[in-house]
Amino acid sequence: MNAVWLLMGLLVLSYLGSSLVGGRVLRGIGLPSGAEYVVLGFVVGPSALGLLEPSSLAAFEPVAGVALGWLALVVGLDFGFVGNRRVRPSRLALAVLMSIATGCGVAAAVWFVAARVAPSLGGIDRVLLAAGVGAVSAETTRHAVLWVTQRYSASGTISDLIADIADCDDLGPLLMMGCAFALVPQATAPWPLPFWGWTIVTALIGVVLGLIAVVLLGTDFRLIQSWGVLLGTSLLTIGTSARVGLSPLLATFAMGVTIAAVSRHREEIVAMVAPTERPVILPALLLAGAHANPKAAPFLPWIVAIALVVRIAGKLATGLVFRVASPGARETSPWLGLGLLSSGAVAMSVGLAFALRFPGPVGHTVLFTAAAAAVFGEFVGPQALRATLRKAGEIAAPERESLFFGRGLARAGRDATPVEGDTPPSPAAGRGEG
């Protein structure tokens, strides 16, 4: 498949994403992580059917980089908020700390395992592998709770808690990614900078350009001018950070957080850019799946296995910590952490960014681990989350469900079946006659 056909396919996926956001299809359809698009990309990619050629994927690497940066900007604009509700600072800090703890736990395990299964990896490659796998293992997708809420009408204290955790833990993987990229910058400074110094530089690029965007947006919100400002400053942020070998995702995330914190038009900006998230996610997930290569390294199965095991342990620990720290969650299931296993666009974006920045065994192992975590999470996360919310009384008792239409078919069948004691509607009522 040449680049033209690939472009057409990506545009079709983008249109489907805009239709889903626009409400022209039923809500609650599809997987919360979007793993089906990752699998589709893998199937048509060079590692499976080979419909997509490596040269075609290489031609779209700049486009993929811009798409990932824009997604990080959207996440940054919404960081610390669930809708228009601000997450409590204590809960935000705890969610970020637990995300980093999970990622660091996975990274430490990968570091020790790599010493045995991948002795040929050099010191810096071993560090990059551990940091990358840890970063893609830290996230819980914020779409998981939204998916369950829309499909099962969930609401309550536990739903809000899990929504807060999933919304705030995006900082963990992006920060770990920024530190990993800062280990091997492509720029030089007048004086030596440690990796944490380059990580601060990455965030400062986003903060400075975010402040410039706020100034350019001005006091009056105008839609056309705002699009130009956001697109221009985001592209400048992506290009600047990529040019010096730093993380564009962390930079644009910092830019989004800065705009949301300083601009008086945060709600209008979020409402403007939020519908663009899904149209960008679907093509990005397809490209990520197409880049995934299970034969990239002989040690890949061992790394994936240890990452999944430690990720499960980390999320279970996260659930236990929040049961202790949140009074409203103390009576819920001790398996609350299993509902946090769904990973999504942020983890896949980090994995694809690693594969593009570090082509070879390290980058492709990180990307394949992200894909494996997303697929595995679909078998455990939504089911465990639904069971937890049902036990907490925040969703109704289970009904007969359709695979594609959820509770709608069950409700339609129930309403169509007369129940003893009910009075059937009269024919006149069916014709709209009084």
Is the pLDDT confidence value at 88 over 80? Answer: yes
The three-state DSSP-derived secondary structure of the chain is CCHHHHHHHHHHHHHHHHHHHCCCCCCCCCCCCCHHHHHHHHHHCCCCCCCCCHHHHHHCHHHHHHHHHHHHHHHHHCCCEECCEECCHHHHHHHHHHHHHHHHHHHHHHHHHHHHHCCCCCHHHHHHHHHHHHHHCCCCCCHHHHHHHHHHCCCCHHHHHHHHHHHHCCHHHHHHHHHHHHCCCCCCCCCCCCHHHHHHHHHHHHHHHHHHHHHHHCCCCCHHHHHHHHHHHHHHHHHHHHHCCCCHHHHHHHHHHHHHHHCCCHHHHHHHHHHHHHHHHHHHHHHHHHHCCCCCCCCHHHHHHHHHHHHHHHHHHHHHHHHHHCHHHCCCCCCHHHHHCCCCHHHHHHHHHHHHHCCCHHHHHHHHHHHHHHHHHHHHHHHHHHHHHHHCCCCCCCCCCECCCEHHHHHHHHHHCCCCCCCCCCHHHHCCCC
Number of Cβ within 10 Å of residue 341's Cβ equals: 28
> Which of 154-158, 277-281, 402-406 has the lowest average pLDDT?
402-406
Give ∠ CA 294-291-56 in degrees, rounded to 5: 135
Question: In 143-165, which positions are buried (b, 16+ CB within 10 angstroms) versus exposed (e)?
Answer: bbbbbbbbbbebeeebbbbbbbb
Contacts of residue 163, Cβ cutoff 8 Å, sequence gap at least 6 = 82, 142, 145, 146, 149
Give which of 249, 250, 248, 273 is closest to 260, Cα–Cα.
273
Do the domain assignments include residue 408? no
Give which of 160, 134, 133 is closest to 362, Cα–Cα.
133
pLDDT grade for 357, boundaries at 50, 70 and 90 = very high
Per-residue model confidence (pLDDT) at position 419: 43
Token digits of residue 62: 């700049």
Do the domain assignments include residue 411? no
Number of Cβ within 10 Å of residue 432's Cβ equals: 6
Per-residue model confidence (pLDDT) at position 237: 96
Amino acid 92 reads L
Per-residue model confidence (pLDDT) at position 409: 40
Do the domain assignments include residue 433? no
Is the pLDDT confidence value at 215 over 50? Answer: yes
Is the pLDDT confidence value at 31 over 90? Answer: no
Token digits of residue 261: 């914190």
Q: List the domain range (segments joined by +) for residue 289.
A: 3-20+29-397
Per-residue model confidence (pLDDT) at position 408: 44
Length of the chain: 434
* Listed ranges 78-82, 226-230, 352-356; the one with the highest mean pLDDT: 352-356
pLDDT per residue over 222-236, tens digit each? 777 889 899 999 999
pTM to 2 decimals?
Answer: 0.85
Ramachandran class of 23: left when φ > 0, alpha when ψ lies in -120 to 50, beta otherwise: left
Do the domain assignments include residue 407? no
Averaged over 155-177, what is the pLDDT?
Answer: 89
Q: Compute φ and ψ for 406, nearest 5 degrees.
A: 55, -135
Is the pLDDT confidence value at 333 over 70? Answer: yes
Of residues 398 and 146, more confidently modeled: 146
Averaged over 110-125, what is the pLDDT?
Answer: 90
State the total domains in the chain: 1
Do the domain assignments include residue 172? yes
Do the domain assignments include residue 403? no
Give which of 148, 139, 167 is closest to 77, Cα–Cα.
167
Please identify which residue in the block is written with the tokens 């990752």. 38
pLDDT per residue over 56-66, tens digit each? 888 888 889 99
Of residues 262 and 417, more confidently modeled: 262
Per-residue model confidence (pLDDT) at position 1: 52
Is the pLDDT confidence value at 295 over 80? Answer: yes
β-pair partners for 85: 82
Do the domain assignments include residue 208? yes
Is the pLDDT confidence value at 3 over 70? Answer: no
Looking at every residue in the chain, the average pLDDT score rounds to 83
| Contact status, residue 101 vs residue 323, Cβ threshold 8 Å | no
Is the pLDDT confidence value at 297 over 50? Answer: yes
Do the domain assignments include residue 412? no
pLDDT per residue over 375-423, tens digit each? 998 888 888 888 888 888 888 655 544 444 344 444 444 444 444 444 4
pLDDT grade for 83, boundaries at 50, 70 and 90 = confident
Q: What is the CATH number of the domain that holds 295?
A: 1.20.1530
| Contact status, residue 181 vs residue 253, Cβ threshold 8 Å | no
Q: What percent of the chain has pLDDT over 70?
A: 83
| Contact status, residue 110 vs residue 297, Cβ threshold 8 Å | no
